[in-house]
Structure 1
Amino acid sequence: MLTVDFDRLGVGPGTKVIDVGCGAGRHSFEAYRRGADVIALDHNPAELDQVNTVLRAMAEAGEAPASAHAETVLGDALALPYPDETFDCVIASEILEHIPADTELIGELARVLKVGGKLAVTVPRWLPEQVCWLLSREYHSNEGGHIRIYRASRLRAKVTRAGLKFTHSHFAHGLHTPFWWLKCLVGVSNSTHHVVAAYHKMLVWDMTEQPRLTRLAETLLNPLIGKSVALYFEKPVHAVELV
């Protein structure tokens, strides 16, 4: 289940990509599959072990070009262990809403991005997230949970203040919003509720089978209640560098 549009990022063989806060690794796997040289960075060792296992399995199964390289790195997103302008593409998906010092994190994402490189940032969308917060304190008050709700316009302004140029945005995962509203109503940890379980089964079926009906439904729902908003930026050549 990808939130980021990789075609828009132009990721391919030889592209240097860092997936900051990679979590379970879904975006790292896609970048690797497309032939990029990938760094999957996270602060959670257990998740990184699982991501590394999948990356190695992909390599053994020939699911990524032999020229591609992928590795996991245990690190702090607020102090990325790389020089300025290291990466052609930086991905930060569903991480900013967890970080108190989001301005500092955005600065790090911009710092390691090459001139002409592309940044993709995704966060929960304002309206679906507001409803989740209203329905359930448990949804966002757990350790490591969401500490803020972004309006896309304010996040866009924060990133452009870091020197990047906004290029595009879209919404994603419209089918997932009702699922989370249901979970918030019955209890986020109540995964055995029959309605929640049935909806989850449908989502798994949708992700594995990609049927036309649900793909069409999500396309129609995304502009209305898409669970996530994705914002895309480029690092421009500064005027001083043109002199």
Structure 2
Amino acid sequence: MLTVDYDRLRVGPGSKVIDVGCGAGRHSFEAYRRGANVIAFDQNAAELADVDTILQAMGQAGEAPESAKAQVVVGDALALPYPDGSFDTVIASEILEHIPDDDGAITELIRVLKPGGTLAVTVPRWLPEKICWLLSDAYHANEGGHIRIYRADQLRSKLTLGGLRFTHSEHAHGLHTPFWWLKCAVGVDKPEHPAVKAYHKLLVWDLMSQPKLTRVAEAALNPLVGKSVALYFEKPVTDGPAS
């Protein structure tokens, strides 16, 4: 289940990509599949071990071009261990809402992006997230949970003030919003609740089968209640010193 548009990010063979806060690796896998040289970066070493296993299996199965490279790196998003301008594309999907010093993380995302490069940031959308918080403290008030709710214009300003040029925004995962509202209403610790199980079964079916009916439904729901908002940016190419 992807939240970012790789065509909009211009990810392809030879692109240098870092997926910051990669989690289970979904965006890293797609970048690798498209032929990029990708770094799956996260602070969770155990989760990264699983990501590495899948990346290696993809390579062995020929699911990525032979020229593509992929590695996992354990580290802190507030101190990315790379020189300025290291990556053609930076992806930070659903991580900033977890980080107390989000300004520090944003500074690092911008720093390691090459001039002319592309960046995608996604966070939970304000209205769906606000309703989840109102329905359930357990949804967000836990170790490593969500500590803030962004408005898209607020987040956009944080990145443009850092020198990036905003290019596009879109919403995603409209079918998932009612699922999370339902989970929060009945209790996020009750995955066996009949209604939750039935809705989860629907989401799995949609993910695996991609039927036209649910694709049309999600396209209609995304502008209204899409669970995530994705913001796209480019780093301007500045002229060098006059000769």
CA distance in 2, matches of 1:144, 1:104: 17
Q: Which residue of 2 aligns with 1:232?
A: 232
CA distance in 2, matches of 1:22, 1:189: 24
Q: Which residue of 2 aligns with 1:223?
A: 223
CA separation of 1:58 and 1:241: change in aligned 2, threshold 3 A: same
Matched, 1:186 2:218: no
CA distance in 1, matches of 2:36, 2:50: 20
> Gaps spanning 5+ residues in structure 1: where?
none
Q: Which residue of 2 aligns with 1:5?
A: 5
1:19-168 correspondence to structure 2 within 5 Å: 19-168=19-168
* TM-score for both structures, normalised by structure 1: 0.98
Q: Which residue of 2 aligns with 1:171?
A: 171
CA distance in 2, matches of 1:129, 1:110: 26
One-letter amino acid matched to 1:199: Y
Q: Which runs of 4+ in 1 moved over 4 A?
A: none
Secondary structure of the equivalent of 1:163?
coil
Q: Which residue of 1 aligns with 2:240?
A: 241
CA distance in 2, matches of 1:95, 1:151: 15
Matched, 1:209 2:205: no
One-letter amino acid matched to 1:203: L
CA distance in 2, matches of 1:187, 1:177: 15
1:241 Cα deviation from its structure 2 partner = 3.2
1:189 Cα deviation from its structure 2 partner = 1.2
Please give the per-residue CA displacement for 1:119-152, whole angstroms capped at 9, x wherever unaligned. 0000000000000000000000010000000000
1:211 Cα deviation from its structure 2 partner = 0.4
Secondary structure of the equivalent of 2:140?
helix
CA distance in 1, matches of 2:191, 2:35: 37
1:237 Cα deviation from its structure 2 partner = 1.9
1:242 Cα deviation from its structure 2 partner = 6.7
Tell me the C-alpha RMSD between the 2 structures.
0.8
One-letter amino acid matched to 1:228: S
Secondary structure of the equivalent of 2:62?
coil
Please give the per-residue CA displacement for 1:82-133, whole angstroms capped at 9, x wherever unaligned. 0000000000000000001000100000000000000000000000000000
CA distance in 1, matches of 2:237, 2:48: 34
CA distance in 2, matches of 1:174, 1:95: 19
CA distance in 2, matches of 1:115, 1:7: 18
* TM-score for both structures, normalised by structure 2: 0.98
CA distance in 2, matches of 1:188, 1:63: 36
> Gaps spanning 5+ residues in structure 2: where?
none
How many residues in Structure 1 have an aligned counterpart in Structure 2? 242
CA distance in 2, matches of 1:192, 1:54: 28
CA distance in 1, matches of 2:14, 2:237: 22
CA distance in 2, matches of 1:242, 1:5: 35
One-letter amino acid matched to 2:59: A
One-letter amino acid matched to 2:207: M
1:197 Cα deviation from its structure 2 partner = 0.3
CA distance in 2, matches of 1:114, 1:64: 24
1:40 Cα deviation from its structure 2 partner = 0.2
One-letter amino acid matched to 1:180: W
